[in-house]
Amino acid sequence: MIEFPTEIVEMYKELKPAHKRVYRIIRDSIFLGKIKSNEKFTEEAISTALGCSRTPVRSALLKLQSEGLLRHMTKTNIGYQEYSNKDKNDLLELDIFLEGKAVELVAAKGLKEEEFNMLNEVNQMLFDHQTLEESVISEYDVRDLHMQFHLLIAKYSGNKFLYKEIVSLRTMMRSFTSLKARDNDHRNNFKSVIAPLHQELLTAIKEGDSEKASIIMRYEISKAKDVYLSV
């Protein structure tokens, strides 16, 4: 029988409609490595574990499959989608290209004051994460903050199709973070390397320097290979 972490189930227990609650619980369980690559489960097993009907479970599973997080292993069994290192590298290279373009668009058109302030706020929380209280799952989780920063850049590009592709890529990339990366505390790396790069990126955006912003974005993502690729 499949089991989901109590912390995740509790976090979303009031979320409605039911298919969104089921989706978030399964998604976050994957992100935190609580669903293993060789684990198989069925709609019935999930509905039993979460105390809901199979209809919202089916809807949630279809969405997770469309995002590349799950796959059909047999006619009735569903499992965690595995990616080879080549797949991961190819996805990472595509993300570098798309996010480089997104930040070019952002720097070219500029940001509203509230948009710039939001990015600054997220990056400051990323920088301050070492001083925040540890939790198995937290709104201040460093990987969530990192992903949020990148998705905000994509959103502010003003290109909804580009944004959709980057969301899809980032979702898949979040799911295949290596076990080594999960086992190690990367917060100091985010404080000493990633957050300062984000600050340089924001400066380039503020100055309207599209080329510099794109170079910084591509460099920052390329440095994440040790996080996304198994070692």
Mean pLDDT across the chain, nearest whole number? 83
Strands (E), the chain: 40-41, 70-72, 78-80
DSSP classification of residue 193: I
The span from the CA of 72 to the CA of 136, in Å, is: 29
- Whether the pLDDT of residue 135 is over 60: the answer is no
The span from the CA of 69 to the CA of 73, in Å, is: 13
Tokens of 215: 């170079």
Share of the chain above pLDDT 70, in %: 80
- Write down the pLDDT at residue 176: 67
Select the more confidently predicted residue: 107 or 187.
Answer: 107
- Whether the pLDDT of residue 189 is over 90: the answer is no
Which helix (H) or strand (E) covers residue 105, if one does?
Answer: helix 85-109
- Cross-strand pairs, 40: 79
The span from the CA of 65 to the CA of 81, in Å, is: 8
Q: What is the pLDDT of residues 71-115, one digit of tens each?
A: 775 656 677 667 788 888 898 999 999 999 999 999 999 999 999
- Cross-strand pairs, 71: 79
- Whether the pLDDT of residue 224 is over 90: the answer is no
pTM of the model: 0.71
- Whether the pLDDT of residue 24 is over 70: the answer is yes
The span from the CA of 206 to the CA of 3, in Å, is: 47
- How confident is the model over 1-18, as a mean pLDDT? 87
Q: How far is CA 1 from CA 4, 13, 22, 44, 110, in A?
A: 10, 20, 16, 10, 51
- How confident is the model over 54-76, as a mean pLDDT? 81
CB 96 within 8 A of CB 222: yes
- Write down the pLDDT at residue 231: 46
Q: What is the CATH number of domain 85-228?
A: 1.20.120.530
Select the more confidently predicted residue: 208 or 127.
Answer: 208
- How confident is the model over 183-210, as a mean pLDDT? 82
The span from the CA of 105 to the CA of 110, in Å, is: 8
Select the more confidently predicted residue: 176 or 201.
Answer: 201
- How confident is the model over 106-127, as a mean pLDDT? 93
Share of the chain above pLDDT 90, in %: 41
- Cross-strand pairs, 72: 78
Domains 6-80 and 85-228 fall in the same CATH topology: no
- Whether the pLDDT of residue 66 is over 50: the answer is yes
Sign (positive/negative) of CA torsion 8, 9, 10, 13?
A: positive
The span from the CA of 217 to the CA of 204, in Å, is: 10
- Whether the pLDDT of residue 55 is over 90: the answer is yes
- Write down the pLDDT at residue 141: 67
* Structure-token match 């965690």, residue found: 80
Tokens of 79: 């499992």
- Write down the pLDDT at residue 25: 92
The span from the CA of 40 to the CA of 77, in Å, is: 6
Q: 6-80, which class in CATH?
A: mainly alpha
Nearest alpha-carbon partner for 182 in 34, 5, 38, 68: 34
- How confident is the model over 44-71, as a mean pLDDT? 89
DSSP classification of residue 52: S
Domain ranges in the chain?
Answer: 6-80, 85-228
Select the more confidently predicted residue: 40 or 212.
Answer: 212
